[in-house]
């Protein structure tokens, strides 16, 4: 009996090693394919070229999703899947996800709605990466099977069944094709589709829902569903989280407290959400629903000697396009100091340059997250003259100071890709072709952080990190070293941290995750 158990464990270990190698070998080239394709998308392309490129990016993203799903399923089956609980802010977490989902839904011609209930705790303790995976799997699935109408994500607090725990309910509802009653028991099975013909129509492996259900179980929760072909499908996720261990650091809001903000938006709900957030930051807010009313309010306030500091104008106003207000506002000397932001439901290539030429200082897409809105208003408040147009990307890039960075990676395509991402964020980048070269560069020069590939010739990233930590130089002791690696198996991050690394980003590199990690470790 013992021999049989040992043999089974050896097979699991062999399968784990095989998956680790295959994961690395697939991710390494896919990082270059997907990263360079995304950079190419930002260059001038005609309509036919854009269509081809979107197909390449979509196919690459689908392949990475399948690789991730198979790896997760293997880890869960082998009972080697661990959660990583940390304290995280709940509302910004869902708001960031909503921005991504809204873009995907808009590409299909449907709406995405985020509803955050009253009474949600500011900060909770849990595994945000796995919670993101559950939500992403459910919402992506809903968008896939919805051709008209909307997908709605609602989050609300519920009573916990155990003392000292926080109850949370998420509902993902769609107006899609629905799931027949006789198929509902199978949707959480591997490679299952409600109807086998849907795989041909909509694509997908069917692994996402099964992984979401198992992840929910690991988080002491469950997922239930209600569905009909007439009304679509509602997945309900019931989770129990922990209260935070550490007090959350409040973002400074003193710079814009007392400023005056005008919001011109005919959609009352979106205007109210922005207004409520702005009032929490100490702003005085006025809402209007038309271009004519907005101009009247701006003029009356200026005449009273109490001009507005900011104006957020929705493009889709009922009486006049919002972007047409830019030249009219700029033609009035009374509004010289007003910071003008255009809000759009969906942008097109070249929009930003056109908007700036019309006199706007900012260009943001709905739905805008609270953190982006706050940072954007703070940056506009600090600007004394017209400069670079404020966008979602520039908000994220301006949050951190310019850094001097070293990238150690033997793959020239991946090295160049990471360099472009970081240089566009305002950082200075140097490169090393292997770990030994990286150690010598760090020994001789001052860097704010090192981005270290793990598997390199001559000397790998783990050994290079150990040698950097062994340098008898106090200035190098706290140097942030971030693993940039195609290794994504359970325990790979632990090996990196044990070697002395302070961060971990997997390939294909997500630009936002890379910049967020840099900001956090170099703050």
Q: CA-to-CA distance for 408 and 405, rounded, in angstroms?
A: 10
Are 215 and 235 part of one and the same domain? yes
Are 107 and 233 part of one and the same domain? yes
410 with 453: CB under 8 angstroms?
A: yes
Are 302 and 155 part of one and the same domain? no
pTM comes to 0.51
516 within domain boundaries: yes
Band of the pLDDT at 248, cuts 50, 70, 90?
A: very low
Please give the average per-residue pLDDT across 255-274, as a whole number.
84
- Residue 192 pLDDT more than 70? no
- Residue 204 pLDDT more than 60? no
Q: CA-to-CA distance for 427 and 419, rounded, in angstroms?
A: 9
Are 392 and 410 part of one and the same domain? no
Give the number of domains in the chain: 4
Can you give the pLDDT at residue 252? 44
**End-of-domain residue from the set 77, 99, 127:** 77
Q: In CATH, what number is assigned to the domain containing residue 413?
A: 3.40.50.2300
Query: Which residue range is the domain that position 231 belongs to?
Result: 86-241
Can you give the pLDDT at residue 437? 95
Are 384 and 425 part of one and the same domain? no
Band of the pLDDT at 202, cuts 50, 70, 90?
A: very low
452 within domain boundaries: yes
Residue with tokens 């994961």: 23
Please give the average per-residue pLDDT across 445-471, as a whole number.
91
Residue 497, SS3?
helix
- Residue 191 pLDDT more than 80? no
Are 389 and 416 part of one and the same domain? no
Are 464 and 512 part of one and the same domain? yes
Beta-strand runs (E) in 325-476: 339-344, 362-365, 404-408, 428-432, 449-452
165 within domain boundaries: yes
Percent of the chain with pLDDT over 70: 78
The more confident residue out of 482 and 421 is 482
381 within domain boundaries: yes
Are 347 and 391 part of one and the same domain? yes
Percent of the chain with pLDDT over 90: 19
Q: CA-to-CA distance for 323 and 355, rounded, in angstroms?
A: 7
Can you give the pLDDT at residue 507? 76
Are 115 and 214 part of one and the same domain? yes
254 within domain boundaries: no
- Give the pair of three-digit tokens for residue 145: 């099977």
pLDDT digits (tens, 9 = 90+) for 470-515: 887 766 777 899 998 766 555 567 788 888 898 888 777 777 678 7
246 within domain boundaries: no
Please give the average per-residue pLDDT across 387-392, as a whole number.
74
Q: CA-to-CA distance for 369 and 211, rounded, in angstroms?
A: 28
Between helix 461-469 and helix 492-499 the angle, nearest 10°, is 30
Which is nearest to 235 in space by CA: 222, 224, 251?
A: 224
Are 215 and 201 part of one and the same domain? yes
Torsion of CA 385, 336, 355, 281, to 10 degrees: 80
Average pLDDT, the chain: 79
255 within domain boundaries: no
Q: How far apart are the first and last CA of the chain?
A: 55
Can you give the pLDDT at residue 523? 63
- Residue 222 pLDDT more than 80? yes
Which is nearest to 121 in space by CA: 91, 84, 101?
A: 91
Which is nearest to 388 in space by CA: 362, 369, 366?
A: 362
**End-of-domain residue from the set 398, 416, 443:** 398
For the ranges 15-29, 80-94, 107-121, the lowest mean pLDDT is seen at: 15-29
pLDDT digits (tens, 9 = 90+) for 168-189: 999 999 998 887 777 766 676 6
- The DSSP code for 390 is B
Can you give the pLDDT at residue 14? 65
Are 64 and 93 part of one and the same domain? no
Residues 6+ apart with CB under 8 A from 20: 487, 489, 492
Can you give the pLDDT at residue 197? 44
236 with 262: CB under 8 angstroms?
A: no
**End-of-domain residue from the set 214, 241, 268:** 241
Can you give the pLDDT at residue 249? 37
For the ranges 26-40, 73-87, 215-229, 252-266, the lowest mean pLDDT is seen at: 73-87
467 within domain boundaries: yes
């Amino acid at each position: 009996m013992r021999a049989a158990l040992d043999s089974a464990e050896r097979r699991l270990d062999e399968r784990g090693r095989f998956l680790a190698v295959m994961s690395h070998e697939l991710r390494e080239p896919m990082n270059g394919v997907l990263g360079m394709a995304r950079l190419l998308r930002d260059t001038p392309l005609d309509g036919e070229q854009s269509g081809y490129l979107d197909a390449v990016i979509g196919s690459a993203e689908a392949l990475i999703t399948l690789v991730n799903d198979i790896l997760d399923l293997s880890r869960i089956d082998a009972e080697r899947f661990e959660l990583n609980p940390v304290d995280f802010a709940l509302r910004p977490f869902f708001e960031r996800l909503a921005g991504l989902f809204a873009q995907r839904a808009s590409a299909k011609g449907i709406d995405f709605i985020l509803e955050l209930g009253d009474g949600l705790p500011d900060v909770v303790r849990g595994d945000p990466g796995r919670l993101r995976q559950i939500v992403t799997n459910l919402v992506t699935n809903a968008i896939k099977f919805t051709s008209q109408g909307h997908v709605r994500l609602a989050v609300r607090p519920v009573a916990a069944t155990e003392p000292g725990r926080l109850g949370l309910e998420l509902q993902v509802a769609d107006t899609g094709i629905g799931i027949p009653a006789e198929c509902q028991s199978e949707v959480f099975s591997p490679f299952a589709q409600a109807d086998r013909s849907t795989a041909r129509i909509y694509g997908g492996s069917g692994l996402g829902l099964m992984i979401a259900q198992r992840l929910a179980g690991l988080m002491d929760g469950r997922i239930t569903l209600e569905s009909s072909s007439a009304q679509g499908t509602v997945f309900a996720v019931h989770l129990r989280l922990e209260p935070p261990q550490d007090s959350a650091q409040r973002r400074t809001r003193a710079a814009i407290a007392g400023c005056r903000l005008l919001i011109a938006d005919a959609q009352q709900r979106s205007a109210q959400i922005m207004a409520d957030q702005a009032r929490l930051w100490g702003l005085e807010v006025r809402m209007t629903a038309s271009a004519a009313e907005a101009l009247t309010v701006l003029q009356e306030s200026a005449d009273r000697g109490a001009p507005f500091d900011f104006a957020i104008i929705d493009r889709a106003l009922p009486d006049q396009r919002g972007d047409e207000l830019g030249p009219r506002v700029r033609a009035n000397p009374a509004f010289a100091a007003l910071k003008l932001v255009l809000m759009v439901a969906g942008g097109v290539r070249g929009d930003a340059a056109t908007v700036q030429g019309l006199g706007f200082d900012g260009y943001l897409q709905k739905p805008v997250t609270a953190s982006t809105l706050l940072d954007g208003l703070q940056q506009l408040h600090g600007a004394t003259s017209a400069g670079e147009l404020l966008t979602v990307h520039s908000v994220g890039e301006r949050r951190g100071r310019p850094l001097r960075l070293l990238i150690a990676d033997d793959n020239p395509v991946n090295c160049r890709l990471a360099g472009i991402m970081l240089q566009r964020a305002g950082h200075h980048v140097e490169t090393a072709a292997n770990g030994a070269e990286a150690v010598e560069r760090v020994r001789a020069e001052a860097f704010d952080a090192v981005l270290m590939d793990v598997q390199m010739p001559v000397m790998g990233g783990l050994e290079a990190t150990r040698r950097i930590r062994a340098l008898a130089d106090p200035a190098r002791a706290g140097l942030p070293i971030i693993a940039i690696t195609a290794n994504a198996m359970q325990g790979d991050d632990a090996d990196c941290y044990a070697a002395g690394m302070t961060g971990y980003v997997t390939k294909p590199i997500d630009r936002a995750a890379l910049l967020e990690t840099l900001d956090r470790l170099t703050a």
